[in-house]
Amino acid sequence: MADVTRSEDHAGQKRTAKSAPKEMSAWSQLQTNRNWLGMWFMLPAGLFLILFLAYPLGLGVWLSFTDARLGRAGEFIGLENYAWLIGDFTEGWKFWEIGDPVFWLSVFNTLLYTVVASAIKFGIGLYLALLLNKHMPFKAIIRAVVLIPFIVPTVLSAIAFWWIFDTQFSILTWMLQEVGAIAEDYQVNWLGEPLMARASVIFANIWRGVPFIAITLLAGLQTVPPSLYEASVIDGATRWQMFRYITYPLLTPIIAVVMTFSVLFTFTDFQLIWVLTRGGPVNTTHLMATLSYQRAILGGNLGEGAAISTAMIPFLLAAIMFSWFGLQRRKWQHGEAND
Amino acid sequence: MSFTRRRFLGTSAMAGAMIAGGDLLGRSRAWAATEMKWTPEDGASLQLLRWKRFVQSEEDAFLKLVAAFTDATGVQVEVLNESLDDVQPKASVAANVGSGPDMFWGLYSLPHLFPEKCMDVSDVCDHIGSKYGGWAPSAETYGKSGDSWIAVPVAYNANLINYRKSAIEEAGFSEMPGDTEGFLELCKALQGIGKPAGMALGHASGDGNAWVHWALWSHGGYLVDENDQVIINSPETEAALNYAKALFDSWIPGTASWNDAFNNKAFLAEEVWLTNNGVSIYAAAKRQAGEDAKMAEIAEDMDHAFWPIGPSSTPAEFHICYPLLGMSYTPYPNAVKAFMQFMMEVENYEPWCEGAVAYLSHPYKAGDDFAFWDADPKLVAAKPAAWRTSTAGHLGSVGERAAAALADFIVLDMLANVCTGRQTPEGAMKLAERQAKRLYRA
């Protein structure tokens, strides 16, 4: 009897133990369940992302399908803004003729600006990083100095470049005149001619962007174990082989991240162009960001401006995808194959 | 008119104040007691965002005016400054979100970008207009949307030809040519003597838009007609483009990159000897004349002129209008109206306008009698700006589409395309026509 009772008790206890979670109130579960707790902790960040990232992005995309103007909610007009900007391909295939030539010019300018500036920034940044990774006197001070262009507010540096590239007062022109590279009375038209203006704004962007790449790559370089270099020296590796087979592969993940950020920053650049040229001369330095601002905020055509901004998304997504696949290569470091 | 106790007290107070002080503060207190048409709401305070001053003495005079208003009415007015190009974006965003400064003071057709977000200030403008001899026609165009006033067209910035007398004499001209052909000859002659002219052809909203519209309108070319139909692609426009190209070729290199500030510094540095601007270059030269002999020489040698007349045979000038608008979201509409009235009353307006050293011109007839216009003959060209100017859109409406066309630099880019040789006149006109048709679509 006692046994039976014990076993019943045991069974009862077992039942109780098993059913205990079922008896917890939903509120208690929300408070103690690990999955729910995880969600609670993520919620502030999630709300933050939705409020400040997803909502504006969604609103921007929505506006691009409307004829909204400043101060007035627009009506849904479908793809009309895009048809105007990109071109209605039922009318032909020459997009620069059927679309808005200024828009296509801004797309070309943006791609040119991004590709040229990013490539040069990477080259100089990597070179500087390798240089700064060496033992040299006043290393810390030199590293700090390299960061200066990045620290100076963009608008301030843009105003400095505004003077540097001024046709009449340019210090560059003066220097070229002093060293006899150009005639005394020759004024270089830095920002007044399309090709020169593009080169000038790209130069300013490079000057500003190099420190970010150099310092980040320098940080990456310092994670490379010196023992690998020592081993390669013993094996008789040349300096190029050391870079090619040790430094570069181990730096690849950092390069992927830093170049993605650099491409994103360059692609969406606004301040430099706005202060230096406002998109001129004749729209030859207009980037998609500056054209979007001009049309949406200055011109009042929110819908069209939003469409130009939205048209930037595919390019930005491509840059992010590049980063994604670049990051996967991290497994190289651990001797694993790529996904 | 009935002579009530209140009126007697008010008049007495005004007279007392005038006798006691005779200054701006005394006058303004008396004004608040007797002439103020709109009593500010209890506890009202205002925020006004304005274009950043070009002449310091103008801002000093304006802040005195604001202080006098506060002293008279108890309404605090906070004045925020933004550069000329930044007022419009800020106002636009405020209109869009329904929150921000109570008043915006911008340029051209700013209120027409969001007319339904502007306070109806017809009563203020009717009162001021009838009291001071009537508004200039362009002021009505800028201030009104339909039959209602949506902004007070406070003042104009006359955009004139600024030139060095010695340079045009050296180039063989005894005076500034009054016609476009003569003007082109002068520019070529200035180039010949190494003292070139130059005007901004970058995205310069003030000076750039002023000269390109003069070039277009003086040849009879227009963006739109009276019914807002796009008519930019025309033989007149082509003539204007060819003329502009010839002018551009005679100018100093680099003007395609100039914004509004470039010509000022180039003129004061004697890099260009003729440009277009307000009278602020002259004011700057005069201000520095005491300590800088070069500035004294420039101030002495320079002068201003109206724009030359072209084949259209009418003045084709485009002066900047500065409209002041109250936002419909303001909780203190009466305080806004009281401020507008106070600002435009001649006894407050004239000292402020004088502080601007003719950089600003009046929009109502009574301003013709301001004493300071007689003080310096070099400034007289700025006096009739409100009456000589055409409005944004010219033949067409001054509404948001004209504002958008200006903001998008349709005319300026059309000229720049031709001047820099990127496009033929036909190609540039076609592009401008396409863009304008988009903005002016039904």
| Interface contact B257-A278, CB threshold 8 A | no
Q: Is the pLDDT of residue A217 over 80?
A: yes
Q: Is the pLDDT of residue A154 over 70?
A: yes
| Interface contact A71-B95, CB threshold 8 A | yes
Q: What pLDDT shows up at residue B19?
A: 40
Mean pLDDT in residue range A224-230: 92
Mean pLDDT in residue range B72-78: 95
Q: What pLDDT shows up at residue B13?
A: 43
Q: Is A194 on the interface with B (CB under 8 A)?
A: yes
Alpha-carbon distance of B14 to B168, in angstroms, equals 53
Q: Which residue of A has its CA nearest to B414?
A: A282
Q: Which residue of A has its CA nearest to B418?
A: A282
What percent of chain B is predicted at pLDDT more than 90? 74
Residue B259 binned pLDDT confidence (cut-offs 50, 70, 90):
confident
What percent of chain A is predicted at pLDDT more than 90? 52
Segment 398-437 of chain B within 8 Å of chain A by CB: 400, 403-404, 407-408, 413, 416-417, 420, 422, 431, 434-435
pLDDT, tens only, A286-339 = 999 999 999 998 888 899 999 999 999 999 998 888 777 766 555 555 555 444
| Interface contact A189-B93, CB threshold 8 A | no
Q: What pLDDT shows up at residue B26?
A: 78
Q: Between B203, B254, B400, which is nearest A192 by CB? A: B254
User: Sign (positive/negative) of CA torsion B396, B402, B406, B408?
Assistant: negative
Token couple for A117: 């500036």
| Interface contact B202-A281, CB threshold 8 A | yes
Q: Is the pLDDT of residue A182 over 60?
A: yes
Contact B316, B390 (CB under 8 A): yes
Least confident residue range of B12-16, B73-77, B207-211, B357-361 = B12-16
Burial of B422 (0-12, 13-18, 19+ CB in 10 A): middle
Q: Concatenate the DSSP letters of all residues of B95-153 into one string.
A: HHHT-S-SEEE-STTGGGGSGGGB---HHHHHHHHHHTT-B-HHHHHHHEETTEE-SEE
- Chain A environment of B269 (Cβ under 8 Å): 168-169
Q: Between B252, B255, B407, which is nearest A294 by CB? A: B407
For the beta sheet containing B103-105, the strands, ordered from the edge strand earlier in sequence to the opposite edge, are B76-82, B45-51, B103-105, B320-326, B152-157
User: How many Cα atoms are found within 13 Å in the side-chain-facing hemisphere of B92?
Assistant: 27
Q: Between B256, B422, B431, which is nearest A192 by CB? A: B256
pLDDT, tens only, B201-249 = 998 888 999 999 999 999 999 999 999 999 999 999 999 999 999 999 9
Mean pLDDT in residue range B334-356: 95
Q: What pLDDT shows up at residue B6?
A: 46
Mean pLDDT in residue range B327-340: 97
Between residues B18 and B237, the one the model is more confident about: B237
- Chain A environment of B434 (Cβ under 8 Å): 100
Q: What pLDDT shows up at residue A327?
A: 61
Alpha-carbon distance of A268 to A205, in angstroms, equals 12
pLDDT, tens only, A234-293 = 999 999 999 999 998 889 888 888 998 999 999 999 999 998 999 988 899 999 999 999
Q: What pLDDT shows up at residue B80?
A: 96
Q: Is the pLDDT of residue A1 over 50?
A: no
pLDDT, tens only, B170-198 = 999 999 999 999 999 999 999 999 999 99
- Chain A environment of B258 (Cβ under 8 Å): 192
What distance in Å separates residue A187's CA from the closest CA in chain B? 7
Q: Which residue of B has its CA nearest to A96?
A: B431
Average per-residue pLDDT for chain A:
86
| Interface contact A70-B201, CB threshold 8 A | no
Q: Is B108 on the interface with A (CB under 8 A)?
A: no
Q: What pLDDT shows up at residue B404?
A: 86
Q: What pLDDT shows up at residue A8?
A: 46
Token couple for B407: 């903001």
pLDDT, tens only, A52-78 = 999 999 999 999 999 988 767 789 999
Mutate to test the interface with A, among B87, B99, B195, B257 (most CBs of A within 10 A): B257
Mutate to test the interface with B, among A98, A293, A298 (most CBs of B within 10 A): A298
Q: What pLDDT shows up at residue B2?
A: 42
Between residues B153 and B254, the one the model is more confident about: B153
Q: What pLDDT shows up at residue A44?
A: 94
pLDDT, tens only, A44-56 = 999 999 999 999 9
Name the packing angle between helices B333-344 and B122-131 (round to 10°).
20
Residue A144 binned pLDDT confidence (cut-offs 50, 70, 90):
confident
Q: With a threshold of 0.80, does the pTM exceed it?
A: yes
What distance in Å separates residue A302's CA from the closest CA in chain B? 10
Q: What pLDDT shows up at residue A326?
A: 66
Q: What pLDDT shows up at residue B441?
A: 84
Q: What pLDDT shows up at residue A329?
A: 58
Mutate to test the interface with B, among A59, A63, A70, A72 (most CBs of B within 10 A): A70
Q: Between A70, A189, A193, which is nearest B96 by CB? A: A70
Q: Which residue of A has its CA nearest to B95?
A: A71
Q: Is the pLDDT of residue A17 over 70?
A: no
| Interface contact B257-A194, CB threshold 8 A | no
- Chain B environment of A101 (Cβ under 8 Å): 431
Alpha-carbon distance of A169 to B290, in angstroms, equals 25
Q: Between A70, A192, A297, which is nearest B257 by CB? A: A192
Q: What pLDDT shows up at residue B184?
A: 97
Q: What pLDDT shows up at residue B359?
A: 87
Q: What pLDDT shows up at residue B102?
A: 97
- Chain B environment of A70 (Cβ under 8 Å): 92-93, 95-96, 113-114
- Chain A environment of B422 (Cβ under 8 Å): 194, 282, 284
Alpha-carbon distance of B157 to B171, in angstroms, equals 29
Q: What pLDDT shows up at residue A71?
A: 67
Q: What pLDDT shows up at residue B251?
A: 96
Alpha-carbon distance of A125 to A210, in angstroms, equals 5
pLDDT, tens only, B128-144 = 999 999 999 999 999 99
Q: Is the pLDDT of residue B409 over 70?
A: yes
What distance in Å separates residue A107's CA from the closest CA in chain B? 17
Cα torsion through A145, A149, A150, A156, rounded to 10: 140
| Interface contact B404-A70, CB threshold 8 A | no
| Interface contact A194-B113, CB threshold 8 A | no
Contact A132, A214 (CB under 8 A): yes
Q: What pLDDT shows up at residue B96?
A: 83
Q: Is the pLDDT of residue B301 over 80?
A: yes
Q: Between B203, B407, B438, which is nearest A279 by CB? A: B203
Alpha-carbon distance of A84 to B281, in angstroms, equals 42
Q: What pLDDT shows up at residue A6?
A: 47
- Chain A environment of B93 (Cβ under 8 Å): 70, 297
Q: What is the C-alpha radius of gyration for chain A, rounded to an integer number of angstroms?
A: 29
Q: Between A190, A282, A301, which is nearest B416 by CB? A: A282
Q: Is A74 on the interface with B (CB under 8 A)?
A: no
Q: Between A69, A84, A192, which is nearest B255 by CB? A: A192
Alpha-carbon distance of A76 to B347, in angstroms, equals 51
Q: Is the pLDDT of residue B20 over 70?
A: no
Q: Is B218 on the interface with A (CB under 8 A)?
A: no
β-strands B45-51, B76-82: how paired?
parallel
Contact B129, B135 (CB under 8 A): yes
Q: Is the pLDDT of residue A89 over 80?
A: no
| Interface contact B413-A101, CB threshold 8 A | no
Q: What pLDDT shows up at residue A328?
A: 58
Mean pLDDT in residue range A131-157: 87
Q: Is B203 on the interface with A (CB under 8 A)?
A: yes
